[in-house]
């Protein structure tokens, strides 16, 4: 159990301190990870992104493109 906690803590630290934008989306499309770099680039704070559906964070013109990308990603 301690090893799992250590790995989890390290992953969270890596995501939070990464110099590249990272977002995590669950199978329902809800954002459950949003690091400081993506917050900086988008102007959307972590608190405002977490729990929202990814497609609600996009400009209308990008929704269909992102839907297709996600579909392809889920297919492998």
Instruction: Report pLDDT digits (tens) over 19-61.
Output: 999 999 998 989 999 999 999 999 999 999 999 999 899 888 8
In the 3-class helix/strand/coil scheme, how is 2-67 assigned residue by residue?
HHHHHHHHHHHHHHHHCCCCCEEECCCCEEEEECHHHHHHHCCCHHHHCCCEHHHHCCHHHHHHHH
Q: Is the pTM of this model over 0.75?
A: no
Q: Which domain holds residue 52?
A: 2-75
According to the model, what pLDDT value does residue 22 have? 93
Measure the CA–CA gap between 36 and 72, rounded to whole angstroms: 27
Give Cα 39 to chain centroid, integer Å.
10
Q: 49 and 39 in contact (C-beta within 8 Å)?
A: yes
Q: What CATH code is carried by the domain that includes residue 40?
A: 3.30.450.20
> What's the pLDDT band for 76 if we cut at 50, 70, 90?
confident
What count of residues does the chain have?
76
Number of domains in the chain: 1
């Amino acid at each position: 159990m301690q090893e799992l906690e250590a790995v989890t803590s390290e992953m969270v630290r890596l995501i939070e301190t990464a110099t590249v934008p990272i977002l995590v989306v669950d199978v329902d499309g809800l954002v459950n990870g949003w690091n400081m770099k993506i917050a900086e680039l988008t102007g959307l704070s972590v608190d405002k992104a977490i729990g929202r559906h990814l497609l609600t964070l996009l400009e209308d013109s990008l929704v269909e493109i992102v839907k297709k990308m996600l579909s392809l990603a889920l297919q492998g």
